[in-house]
Amino acid sequence: MTCNSQIKKKLPLRSSLSDQLELIVSDCTQCQICVSQCSFLTQYGDPKHIASRYHLGSKEFFKIPFECSLCQLCTAVCPHNVDPKKMFLEMRREAFDQGQSNLPEHRRLRQYEKVGTSKRFSWYALPENCHTIFFPGCALSGTRSEITLQTYSELQKSIPDIGIVLDCCMKPSHDLGDQNNFNLMFNEMKTYLHKHGVKTILTACPNCLQVFTTYGTEFESKTVYEALNLINLPQATDAKNIVALHDPCTARFNQPAQDAVRDLLRHKGVSVEEQPHNRTTTVCCGEGGAVSCVNPILAKSWGQKRIDATQNHHIVSYCAGCTQTLGEKANTSHLLDIYFAKDSALTSQSKIAKPPLTYFKRLRLKKHLQNKLQVAESRERTFHPPTEKARHGAHITARKALILGSLVTISIMFIFKAWI
Ligand code: SF4
Ligand code: SF4
């Protein structure tokens, strides 16, 4: 029996997962190149081996896809254009849809996302004639609220009508396989922005950018680093500092962002020591795919791989999440710390803001913007999709109504017939 027919026989899978499994089984040659780069695959076997054995009902496959960082290093190194991330993401979605992945380990992350999209924390501020918004994302706003403000002011110099949106891009739901929640929330945001004439999104976080470029194709989306790079900065005369640059895995295939970041550092007199794993072959910091929730040892091993390769150079990243994660083990700065001329950013011990301080900083940022900005259109987000329980309740109510309606119709017909 072929592997393909084995897959078809096992379960009535969602078609996208079934397609991904078939694709991996047919295209992966088991050359082991990706396995040699990835600790997760080293533990569970190459993608074809996993796809051939996939069985949702088994306990093993209950957690396996949640240990993949969804980082696409495998995709970058595969000589046969195989994209195992797609398969692992579909496995997560299948597990979620089957009610098997509501893991207690993910509760804190789900709560973080919920807070980000809440009325209290969200704020949309669109000035008159606003076509471009700055979307800083939850991590930058929480760890660097002052720098978020400075970035916005800097962008206003070249784009006077730029708006700002404090909200969550919903990547946690997306990566945890809750595609229904992701779609409802992201589409509501997208519709609002579209309706109010927004055409361009500038993100500080490569995760948010990935979401907008994949699901918000009606917008032109790019990083703020590309926009800042267009602002005429004086070129520094000599490089005073050397840093190890960490490209976030979500920016792996985004060469314009990678180039812009290197340009900005050069302008600031900072020289980049390129890492063996950089640009398309960069490694995950350890936070990708929320692996740290279910397998913290595996997650830490990714971050350690990066730190070990930096030869004690100060690390710089352009993702606030990566900066936070790597900063727990080594001196790490965000690119924007350096951009806003914090000389101390490259010399002092990195300070890591943690909850509840990060939540407080986000609220303070929102308050500050509300007091300062003149906007034509603004809102706090109040939309929330019905919970699973409510959906289930609505389903039961609809079924009851249907049964009641049918009974009434039958009774009327019966009485009518008896009367004739
Ligand atoms: S996406 Fe990253 S963690 Fe997942 S299999 Fe590929 S390289 Fe490994
Ligand atoms: S590199 Fe590509 S072909 Fe080789 S084992 Fe990995 S997915 Fe399969």
Residue 247 within a domain: yes
Tell whether ligand 1 has an atom less than 6 A from the beta carbon of residue 257.
Answer: no
Domain identity same for 65 and 125: no
Domain end point (choices 97, 121, 140): 97
Alpha carbon distance 36, 340 (integer Å): 39
Q: Encode the chain (420 residues) as per-residue pLDDT tens digits.
A: 333 333 333 444 566 999 999 999 999 999 999 999 999 999 999 999 999 999 877 777 878 999 999 999 999 999 999 999 999 999 999 989 888 767 888 999 999 999 999 999 999 999 999 999 999 999 999 999 999 999 999 999 999 999 999 999 999 999 999 999 999 999 999 999 999 999 999 999 999 999 999 999 999 999 999 999 887 666 665 567 899 999 999 999 999 999 999 999 998 889 999 999 999 999 999 999 999 999 999 999 999 999 999 988 999 999 999 999 999 999 999 999 999 866 667 776 567 788 999 999 999 999 999 999 999 999 999 998 876 655 545 444 555 555 565 565 555 565 555 544
Residue 120 within a domain: yes
DSSP state of 380: -
Tell whether ligand 1 has an atom less than 6 A from the beta carbon of residue 38.
Answer: yes
Closest ligand to 38 CA? 1
Q: Per residue in 152-199, pLDDT tens? A: 999 999 999 999 999 999 999 999 999 999 999 999 999 999 999 999
Atom of ligand 2 nearest to the CA of 46: 5
Residue 394 within a domain: no
**Domain range for residue 163?**
106-386
Altogether, the residues listed in the chain come to a count of 420
Contacts of 131 (CB under 8 A, 6+ apart): 161, 197, 198, 199, 200
Tell whether ligand 2 has an atom less than 6 A from the beta carbon of residue 255.
Answer: no
Residue 55 within a domain: yes
Residue 411 within a domain: no
Domain identity same for 183 and 281: yes
Closest ligand to 41 CA? 1
User: Inter-axis angle of helices 320-327 and 296-309, to 10 degrees?
Assistant: 90
Residue 410 within a domain: no
Decide: 41 and 303 in contact? Cβ < 8 Å: no
Alpha carbon distance 76, 211 (integer Å): 19
Atom of ligand 1 nearest to the CA of 47: 5
Domain identity same for 305 and 264: yes
Q: Per residue in 368-412, pLDDT tens? A: 999 999 999 999 999 988 766 555 454 445 555 555 655 655 555
Tell whether ligand 1 has an atom less than 6 A from the beta carbon of residue 264.
Answer: no
Residue 324 within a domain: yes
Q: Any bridge partners for residue 175, and if so which?
A: none
Tell whether ligand 1 has an atom less than 6 A from the beta carbon of residue 155.
Answer: no
Closest CA to 183 of 159, 207, 216: 216
Q: Beta-carbon neighbour count of residue 75 at 10 Å?
A: 17
Domain identity same for 66 and 110: no
Q: What is the count of structural domains for the chain?
A: 2
DSSP state of 420: -
Atom of ligand 2 nearest to the CA of 30: 5
In this prediction the pTM is 0.88
Domain identity same for 53 and 129: no
Domain identity same for 92 and 122: no
Q: Beta-carbon neighbour count of residue 391 at 10 Å?
A: 12
Residue 305 within a domain: yes
Cα(71) to ligand 1 centroid in Å equals: 5
Domain identity same for 49 and 150: no
Of 48, 68, 82, 92, best ligand 1 pocket probe by most atoms within 8 Å of the beta carbon: 68
Q: Any bridge partners for residue 326, and if so which?
A: none
